[in-house]
Amino acid sequence: DARVTQTPRHKVTEMGQEVTMRCQPILGHNTVFWYRQTMMQGLELLAYFRNRAPLDDSGMPKDRFSAEMPDATLATLKIQPSEPRDSAVYFCASGLVAGHSSYEQYFGPGTRLTVT
């Protein structure tokens, strides 16, 4: 049963600390997405990758957020320094794009981040 995995599931940290979230996409998927969910804003796309190359990170605060895919099995989202307003649930999702066709996105369970 293929699924997207995320670690850690929960993270509590103090303002100013670095936070790294990790995601393992479904094997064979060529697109990876990072989303953030808050009560106020709902689900927002932060960044996404195709074949490990960043395609769009316009949804991400560039001064403190960075996203990378060191290899096909690992995507990371880093916040440095973290701020209380970064408190949210961060979801990773993966999907497959083949030619002109795109298919379902599959979401991980999320990382619940609390910055105090």
Partner 1 sequence: KQEVTQIPAALSVPEGENLVLNCSFTDSAIYNLQWFRQDPGKGLTSLLLIQSSQREQTSGRLNASLDKSSGRSTLYIAASQPGDSATYLCAVNTGFQKLVFGTGTRLLVSP
Binding site for partner 1 (CB under 8 A): 31, 33, 42-43, 45, 48, 50, 55-56, 91, 93, 95, 97, 101-110, 112
CA-nearest of 48, 93, 85 to 67 is 48
Q: How far is the CB of 8 from partner 1 (least distance, A)?
A: 14
Q: How far is the CB of 44 from partner 1 (least distance, A)?
A: 8
Q: How far is the CB of 62 from partner 1 (least distance, A)?
A: 18
Q: Which residues, 6 or more positions from 23, have their beta carbon under 8 angstroms from its beta carbon?
A: 4, 5, 6, 32, 34, 74, 75, 76, 77, 92, 94, 108
